[in-house]
Amino acid sequence: MLLLRAVLLFLILPSHAENIPTEDPGVPILLPKGTCAGWMAGIPGHPGHNGTPGRDGRDGSPGEKGEKGDAGLVGPKGETGETGVTGAEGPRGFPGIPGRKGEPGEGAYVYRSAFSVGLENRVTVPNVPIRFTKIFYNQQNHYDGTTGKFHCNIPGLYYFSYHITVYMKDVKVSLFKNDKAMLFTYDQYQDKNVDQASGSVLLHLEVGDQVWLQVYGDGDHNGLYADNVNDSTFTGFLLYYDTN
């Protein structure tokens, strides 16, 4: 295309030069700039090829913040992750302020119930409580020396024991709880000798229960004895009180 235009220009330029008067035939006459007289239009050229795409323009200014959208649906619960590594132990903190003193607990009170008594009168009546009137210990007064009976004031487990001297007759004694014989002890008297008999038992008592000793049977088994050097004793005390 460029070659074609050059050929046409070459053919046209001499005809124009002949019509322009010149003072000096040896100097070529140049056409004024912009002169189009007698110019023959060329054949339209074919469209050129598309150019290379230009570079992306600069980012525009940020727009205004839009309104908050609606909350999305809650997704399914994820699986529990693995336990992390235990961290290093932190520094020890300062001691806290001491709290107020609490109220005394139930264990602050000590439950006591005990007695230990001995026989003073050698005359005992069968089938009735034996009256031990020699008091070794009866601080709580739970043993009644006028009746010979121990009265339970604290429910719980009790230990009872008796040690009696046997002289002149056989002895058969029983330990009673509320008119029911719980324990029996029999000792046969040996002629011209002093013997000893004893017994012990654990009993659970409720408030109001009574415990005592008595000669079981008739007067032939009433050989209880006591003097200045021989004692017959009856003892009992609380081991554990009921917490319920």
List of the chain residues with pLDDT < 50: 15-23
How far apart are alpha carbons 115 and 143 in whole angstroms?
7
What does the DSSP 8-state code read for residue 221? G
For residue 164, what is the domain's CATH number?
Answer: 2.60.120.40
Report pLDDT for 209.
Answer: 97
Classify residue 86: in a domain, yes or no.
no
Classify residue 22: in a domain, yes or no.
no
Report pLDDT for 17.
Answer: 43
User: Which structure tokens are listed for 11?
Assistant: 């053919």
Residue 229 belongs to what domain range? 114-241
Classify residue 96: in a domain, yes or no.
no
Report pLDDT for 112.
Answer: 94
User: Which structure tokens are listed for 36?
Assistant: 């189009």
CA 240 to chain centre: 31
Report pLDDT for 16.
Answer: 45
Classify residue 65: in a domain, yes or no.
no
Classify residue 69: in a domain, yes or no.
no
Q: Which of 234, 84, 244, 20 is nearest to 147 (CA)?
A: 234
Classify residue 188: in a domain, yes or no.
yes
User: Which structure tokens are listed for 158?
Assistant: 């009790």
Collect all residues with Cβ–Cβ distance below 8 Å to 168 and sequence separation of at least 6. Answer: 189, 223, 225
User: Which structure tokens are listed for 41?
Assistant: 């239009």
Q: Model-level pTM?
A: 0.56
What does the DSSP 8-state code read for residue 21? -
The C-alpha angle with vertex 211 and arms to 206 and 216, in degrees rounded to 5, equals 145
Classify residue 35: in a domain, yes or no.
no
Classify residue 218: in a domain, yes or no.
yes
Q: Which of 244, 164, 147 is nearest to 199 (CA)?
A: 164
Q: Which of 161, 160, 139, 145 is nearest to 204 (CA)?
A: 160
- Count structural domains, the chain: 1
Report pLDDT for 20.
Answer: 43
The per-residue pLDDT for range 4-30, each reduced to its tens digit, is 666 666 665 554 444 444 445 555 555
